[in-house]
Amino acid sequence: MRMLLAAATLLALLPLGLPPYAMTLLTESLILGLFAMSLDLMVGYARLISFGHAAAYGFGAYACGNFLLHTSMPLPCAVLLAGLLGGIVAIGVGWVCTQATGVSFSMLTLAYAQLLYAVAFKWTPVTGASDGLAGIPRNPGPFGLTWSGKAGFYYLTLTCLLGTFIFCRELVRSPFGAVLRGIRENEAKTTALGYNTRRYKIAIVAISYGLAGLAGALYAPFAGFANTELLFWLLSGQVLIMVIVGGAGTLIGPILGAMFFLYVQQKLSSYTDSWALFFGVIFILFVLFLPEGIWGLVRSRFMRKTA
Amino acid sequence: MALLELDGLTKRYGGIVAVDHVTMRIEAGEVRAVIGPNGAGKTSLFHLITGVVKVTEGSVRFADQDVSTLPAHVRCQRGMSRTFQLTSLFPEMSARDNTRLAAQARDAKRWMPLGGASVFNGASQRGDLALERLGLTHVANRPAGLLSHGDQRLLEVAMALAQRPRLLLLDEPTQGLSVEETAQAVEVLAGLFSSGDLTVLLVEHDMEVVFRLSHKITVLHRGSVIADGDPDTVKADEGVQNAYLGGFA
């Protein structure tokens, strides 16, 4: 708890001392952190490997973009509504995908993402096809707040991230979270104990997708546009890498993983176009030597082990 | 009033009849063993009762209700708790968390996504009590995967017990144990059953274990019941001698 307060305070004070470019980068890393954390709920706590998490992210971005372009809905409301909508749609996705387990489950999530990707190219009135949605505004309100400045938008993102983190942490510590861990360790036994594991899996898919939608909904007004790249499988793979590099099953780890990913990408891409190649090497090193990720390293080095 | 009634229960896999018109009644408070040679259909019978596989023919009545078509987790909610022939635990969780998660399954608020301290408290209490009854309190905080094989077998029984089941189904509880471990486990189980508050259906290979623990024995051979009765009657039965016991008694 004290650590959380300290981290929140630090993040809240950062806008005072950072140059605009760094602010932009930090905001983006928080959005990606939120995205990665949402995936961690599935990957780290229920061992459900989503390989199509970009579907939820892109969905949230397009939904929020449309709300902001076509209505005067205040920015925070549009963001929340897009996330909620993503979660509701994901109940159906979860229902279908959880018919399968293991690799087949991952392939089904990928199939959904690719389906959405294809739809985005054709459904011009809603998605703008290959042009995407441009000029997405940051509608003012509520309570007379405006979001056009960097700091304002940063604080909105930070609030979403902290709120989601607290929600997720409570979720994984709850009776529901205990059942998820049961599913992760031994699903057959969890069923035999009398849990309807399918329902728990659908629920966590919906929650995870909803939160990924929230992240996407923040991205659209942050960047001012939404395009099909937000639905592409490459992004699904990248966010999975952020979770693993940061440390799956820790919630904080994936946020650090997202920051690390973005930072390394920025640094490397200023030297070479094939930055992904080098990041691939970093990823392999992590998997081989630091399977518990950045946060696992921090925990074992600087903290006494807690359960 | 019988707690469990099987009537003409049959399972066919294509041309193979795994369980063939089994009819059986288990009274509340009874400890019943089902024995039979390998492939006699013991585990298939277990799967039919607990709902892991679908019934081809016949019915399963539990506590006066037909449960033949209910899925496994619903039958478990109605009060059937089982163990597996091959130990099935949550290896990275502590023994205590294993029994807690088992007990939590019987709480109406088991799914609570936020808070839930009261759910955990109740479940921990029932879980700890079950650990105590099986003499596992001293290993409660160890990860289940690091316990000795004998303790793992007993932990699985403790998990089932933590659910306060109306019917406890044990699938070969001493499977894979050494002679000493078996003797210890049997003593613990005998102590547990002597309290008389449990109804138990036991599948077991080891005849000494069966005769020590059960009140009544049902003998399966090629999917059908060939004998049924108290241990002495079954021992004396000629058909059983020929089919299975091979002069054991």
pLDDT tens profile B15-28? 888 998 999 999 99
Q: What is the interface pTM, i.e. ipTM, of the complex?
A: 0.86
Interface test with B, best of A180, A193, A208 (most B CBs within 10 A): A193
For B89, which of A175, A186, A196 is closest by C-beta distance?
A186
The mean of the pLDDT values for chain A is: 90
- In this predicted structure, what is the pLDDT of residue B249? 44
The whole-number pLDDT of residue A45 equals 94
Q: B1-79+166-179+187-249 has which fold?
A: Rossmann fold (3.40.50)
- Which has more confidence, A152 or A32? A32
Residue of A nearest to B73 (CA): A194
DSSP 8-state class, residue A200: H
- For the range B134-143, what are the long-range contacts, defined as Cβ-Cβ under 8 Å and sequence gap of 24 or more? B134/B158, B134/B161, B134/B188, B134/B192, B135/B188, B136/B95, B139/B95, B140/B94, B140/B95, B140/B96, B141/B94, B141/B95, B141/B96, B142/B94, B142/B95, B143/B91, B143/B92, B143/B93, B143/B94, B143/B95
Residue A145 contacts B where some CB pair is shorter than 8 Å: no
- The model carries a pTM of 0.89
B-chain residues near A177 (CB < 8 A): 113
Chain B interface residues (partner A, CB cutoff 8 A): 50, 72-73, 76-77, 81-82, 84, 88-93, 97, 100-102, 104-107, 109-116, 119-120, 159, 163
CB B228 within 8 A of CB B201: no
Written as six digits, the tokens of B225 are 């019941």
Q: Which residue has the higher pLDDT, A13 or A70?
A: A70
Return the pLDDT at B228: 86
Local confidence pLDDT in tens for the 249 residues of chain B = 689 999 999 999 988 889 989 999 999 999 999 988 877 888 899 999 999 889 999 999 999 999 999 988 889 989 999 998 888 999 999 999 999 999 999 888 888 888 888 888 999 999 999 999 999 999 999 999 999 999 999 999 999 999 999 999 999 888 888 888 899 999 999 999 988 889 999 998 788 888 889 989 998 888 888 888 888 888 877 777 776 655 554
Q: What percent of chain B has pLDDT over 90?
A: 51
DSSP state, residue A14: G
Whether pLDDT at A305 is above 90: no
Cα radius of gyration (chain B): 18
| pLDDT band at A304; cut points 50, 70, 90 | low
Closest chain A residue to B113 measured between Cα atoms? A176
**Can you tell me the mean pLDDT for A224-246?**
92
What is the per-residue pLDDT across A117-133, written as a single tens digit (0 to 9) for each? 999 998 988 888 888 88
| Pairwise CA distance, residues A138 & B120, whole Å | 44
Q: What digits encode the pLDDT tens for the residues A91-149?
A: 999 999 999 988 999 999 999 999 999 999 989 888 888 888 888 888 887 887 888 78
pLDDT at A307: 42
Spell out the domain ranges in chain B: 1-79+166-179+187-249, 92-162
- A17, with CB counted inside 10 A (0-12, 13-18, 19+), is exposed
User: A163 touching B, CB under 8 A?
Assistant: no
Q: What is the pLDDT of residue B245?
A: 59
In the block, residue with structure tokens 């699938």: B171
Q: What integer pLDDT is reported at residue B7 of this predicted model?
A: 92
Nearest by CB: A185 against B92, B102, B111: B92
Distance (Å) from the C-alpha of residue A134 to the closest C-alpha of chain B?
38
